[in-house]
Amino acid sequence: MTKLAEWLSGLTLLGVLWAAVTFDLLGLDLPEAVLQVSWPLPVFLLVALGCYSLATVGYRVATFNDCQPAAAELQRQIQEARTDLQGKGLRF
Amino acid sequence: MASRKSPEKCKEGADKYSVLLPTYNERENLPLIVWLLVKYFGETEYNYEVIVIDDGSPDGTLEIAEQLQKIYGSDKIVLRPRPKKLGLGTAYIHGMQHATGNYIIIMDADLSHHPKFIPEFIRRQKDGNYDIVSGTRYSGDGGVYGWDLKRKIISRGANFITQILLRPGASDLTGSFRLYRKEVLQKLVEKCVSKGYVFQMEMIVRARQLGYSIGEVPISFVDRVYGESKLGGNEIVSFVKGLLTLFATT
C-alpha cells in the first residue's frame, strides 16, 4: 500500500467513526456531552497538529547544531593540504 | 555496452571501499578532498580507491585529477570521465562499472562532506552489519555551518514534512554522504527515477521497501558555497513535486 493509500484509508476510517458518533448514525443514543466534544474535534485536532508542527520545527531550528569548530578545522586542513600538495609537485 | 568485471579483492575476505566523486568544475576542491581522503584512509588499515567521474568540466578538473593520479598512483585514483553533464544516477552507475571495492561511498566533492567521518561510517556498518550507512545533519551531534536562518527553517521544515508523509526510518533523507554495499547501490540506482535532492530521498525510501537495513552517523556539513544561492524557488518546487510523487507511489 502506498503512503497515500495508507493516509486515505486512515482518514476515511477516522472520518466514518467521527460521523457515526457526531450524527448518531448507529442510533447509539450517546450522552449530550460526548456529542459536544466530538462535533468540533476535527478542527481542534487540525489546530493542535498545526501548533505541534510549528513548535517542533521551531525547536529543531533553534537547536540546529552550528559546526563552527568543523569549519575552522577545515580551513586549517585546506592550508595544510595545499602546502603538502605543492611540495609533491601539484600545480594548482 | 561495457562489460562488467566482477569485483576483485586483494585477500580472501578483505573489504575494499570505492569512493565515488562526481565532479563538475571542482578544480579548486578536488585536490583538497583527495588529500583528505588519502589522509583519513591512510590512518586506517582499509583498502580503498577514489573514482573521479568528471562531466567534461571546462575549468580543467580532469587535468588536475590526472596530476593527482601521478602523485598518488592510478590504483588509488581512478578516472572515469564523461563528455558532458549527464546526471547523478548515471554517474554512480558509470563509476561503479569499474569499481573494485565491495563497498561504495558517495559524497560531494565540494568539501561540504568531510572524509574524517568515513572511518565512523565503516565502523557503524560493521557494528550493525548494515546495508547502508547514511550521514545525518539532523540527529545526534550532526549539524551544519554556513546556513542562515531562512535556510535552516526551510531545511528543517522540509525534513519535518518528509518524515510525516514518508516515515522513512532515516533522519536525513536529502543528504548525499553515504556508504552502500556495492550490490545494494547497484540495485537501487536501477530502480530510482528522480533527480536532484529527490533522487537521494528516493534511494532511502526504496531501500526501506526492499528491506535493506540503514544505519546513521551524525556528520557536520560545512557549506562554503551557500552565497551562490543553491536553494531557489525552482528547487523548492521540484522538491515538493518529488515528495508528493514519492508519497503517491511508494
CB distance B11 to B45 below 8 Å? no
* A67·B114 Cβ contact <8 A: no
pLDDT of residue B2: 47
Q: Return residues 185-224 of B near A (CB < 8 Å).
A: 220-222
CB distance A82 to B30 below 8 Å? no
Query: Measured between alpha carbons, how far is B208 from B211 in angstroms, rounded to an integer?
Result: 5
Q: What is the DSSP letter of B83?
A: S
* Angle, vertex CA B33, rays to CA B185 and CA B181, nearest 5: 15
Chain B residues within 8 A of A78 when measuring between CB atoms: 32, 111
* A82·B32 Cβ contact <8 A: yes
Cell numbers describing residue A91: 600545480
Integer-rounded Cα radius of gyration of chain A: 29
Q: What is the DSSP letter of B59?
A: T
Share of chain A above pLDDT 90, in %: 74
pLDDT of residue B231: 67
pLDDT of residue B10: 45
Q: How confident is the model at residue A76 (pLDDT cuts 50, 70, 90)?
A: very high
Q: How far is B192 from chain A (nearest CA, A)?
A: 16
Query: Measured between alpha carbons, how far is A36 from A25 in angstroms, rounded to an integer?
Result: 16
Give me the residue from B71, B143, B250 closest to A90, CB to CB. Answer: B71
pLDDT, tens digit, 9 for 90 and up, residues B64-110: 999 999 999 999 999 999 999 888 888 999 999 989 999 999 999 99
Which CB contacts under 8 angstroms, 24+ apart, belong to A5-12? none
pLDDT of residue A28: 77
CB distance B57 to B81 below 8 Å? no
> Mean pLDDT, consecutive 10-residue segments, chain B of 250 residues?
48 81 93 96 95 94 95 95 89 91 95 96 97 95 92 94 93 94 94 84 93 96 67 84 92
What are the residues facing B181 on neighbouring strands? B103
Give me the residue from A68, A71, A85 closest to B35, CB to CB. Answer: A85
pLDDT of residue A23: 84
End-to-end CA distance of chain B: 31
Helices and strands in chain B, H and E counts: 8, 9
pLDDT of residue B28: 92
